[in-house]
Amino acid sequence: MTAVIAGGATTELRWRVNHVGSMLSTRARLEADVRTGLVASPPTLPPRWFYDERGSRLFDEITRLPEYYPTRRETEILAARANEIAIRSEASTLVELGSGTSAKTRLLLDALTAYAPDLLFVPLDVSVEVLTEAAVEIAGRYRDIAVDALVADFGDPLPPLPGDEGRRLVAFFGGTIGNFQTHERHAFLDRVRQAMAPGDHLLLGADLIKDPNRLLAAYDDSRGVTAEFNLNLIEVLTRELDGRGVRPNDFAHVARWNADKHRMEMWLRARCDIDAIFAAIDLPWVLPAGAEILTEISVKFDLGALHKELRAHGFAVTAGWMDRRGDYSLSLLRAI
Ligand code: SAH
Ligand code: TRP
């Protein structure tokens, strides 16, 4: 299903926002996720539900926190390498998965439009408000590019990618690749590769293994913005499913380093007995004080192992860059 939900033009169509994907409404999807997730062991909810309008704003705030280094590191690498990426990829289309505000992406758009002024930009995200804002902003700033924004879930099959085969660049920033479970990451890389043609490029940002104390600070900042972001999940659930008898303050944000799986884990721990009901779907929710829900994982990678995995998924490593401190990596990969 595709439906144009917003668009704007002066003399020609310069930006539009399309809905792509299953007929399942957001509500039905949330209901399914809650019904299966809350009885799983441990209870788990998919991270996409963080990103309502408030959650997207909170994430944007996270990216500017002194403790949250990934955004600054990725920006540093992009600033140094954008021109090289433009030359090597020869891209005439840029697809950005999980694009959010596309703030850093402007560095890449500057470089790409120097060679391809009439670039097609295809940001894809679940968060319609932030996506629309970014589409309008970017269409306004870059007068010759077309913005074809897609409201979609990158966990679903990808829509056919627009643009010329061999000249597409698919960017996946923010270390979001780390937010998948291992089997989900493999399935995701297969889907992305299948959607690409040989010669197309993937630009992948990945956070690297480092001192756990720095990781803990990045995911549990002193101002409590990350805690608020995590707790917003309860806000979304109670609003969308008419939750009664539960409030965000009934939970505490917990960030933990899992050394075995080299990943950060975000949990919500019940601070009291929860005896609630999601009235909209007639689902009771009982949780003893101290019980925890896993709301996000953020895998930290070894760059060699990541490149090996990418080769196994049909990509050749064109380049792998790190920031000066070696915190974060950006890899350019060619679909073969
Ligand atoms: N690329 C931005 C944002 C990263 S945060 C950056 O580098 O800063 C993760 C982004 O992915 C958010 O914008 C969120 O709305 C989006 N997102 C999360 N789950 C998603 C899903 N299942 N499908 C599509 N987008 C998703
Ligand atoms: N993709 C981001 C990351 O893994 C998402 C994120 C940052 C996040 N901080 C968070 C998710 C705190 C949940 C809680 O770095």
pLDDT > 80? residue 67: yes
Q: Retrieve residue 205's tokens.
A: 């940002």
222 plus 150 within the same structural domain: no
pLDDT > 60? residue 1: no
| Residue at 25 is within a domain | no
Kindly give the distance from the C-alpha atom of residue 307 to the centroid of ligand 1, in angstroms, as a whole number: 22
Quote the number of domains for the chain: 2
The pLDDT score that the predictor gives to residue 211 is 98
CA 285/CA 274 separation, integer angstroms: 7
Adjacent-strand bridge partners of 93: 120, 168
Cis peptide before 123 (omega within 30 of 0): no
Q: Retrieve residue 107's tokens.
A: 């560095």
| Residue at 33 is within a domain | no
322 plus 228 within the same structural domain: no
Instruction: Name the residue of 226, 251, 257, 327 to mutate for ligand 2: max ligand atoms within 8 A of Cβ.
Output: 226
pLDDT > 80? residue 3: no
Question: Is the CB of 219 inside a 6 Å radius of any atom of ligand 2?
Answer: yes
pLDDT digits (tens, 9 = 90+) for 118-173: 999 999 999 999 999 999 999 999 999 999 999 999 999 998 999 999 999 999 99
Question: Is the CB of 328 inside a 6 Å radius of any atom of ligand 1?
Answer: no
Percentage of the chain lying above the pLDDT 90 cut: 93
The pLDDT score that the predictor gives to residue 164 is 96
Atom nearest to 59 CA in ligand 1 = 5
Question: Is the CB of 157 inside a 6 Å radius of any atom of ligand 1?
Answer: no
pLDDT > 80? residue 283: yes
| Residue at 169 is within a domain | yes
Atom nearest to 153 CA in ligand 1 = 23
Q: What is the mean pLDDT of residues 48-65?
A: 97
Which pTM does this prediction carry? Answer: 0.96
Instruction: Assess contact for 43 and 291: CB atoms under 8 A.
Output: yes
pLDDT band at 12 (very low <50, low <70, confident <90, very high): low
pLDDT digits (tens, 9 = 90+) for 165-205: 999 999 999 999 999 999 999 999 999 999 999 999 999 99
- Average pLDDT of every residue of the chain: 95
The pLDDT score that the predictor gives to residue 13 is 62
91 plus 132 within the same structural domain: yes
Which ligand is in closest contact with the Cα of 102?
1
Q: What is the mean pLDDT of residues 85-109?
A: 98
Range of the domain at 313: 2-20+69-208+301-335
| Residue at 324 is within a domain | yes
The pLDDT score that the predictor gives to residue 2 is 52
Name residues whose C-beta falls within 8 Å of residue 18's C-beta, 6 or more positions apart in sequence. Answer: 2, 3, 4, 5, 148, 149, 150, 151
| Residue at 161 is within a domain | yes
Instruction: Name the residue of 62, 253, 263, 264 to mutate for ligand 2: max ligand atoms within 8 A of Cβ.
Output: 62
| Residue at 183 is within a domain | yes
What is the distance in angstroms between the CA of the first residue and the CA of the last residue of the chain? 30
Instruction: Assess contact for 123 and 103: CB atoms under 8 A.
Output: no
The pLDDT score that the predictor gives to residue 252 is 98
pLDDT digits (tens, 9 = 90+) for 288-325: 999 999 999 999 999 999 999 999 999 999 999 999 99
| Residue at 288 is within a domain | yes
Name residues whose C-beta falls within 8 Å of residue 87's C-beta, 6 or more positions apart in sequence. Answer: 115
pLDDT band at 23 (very low <50, low <70, confident <90, very high): low
Strand 315-322 with 328-335, pairing: antiparallel
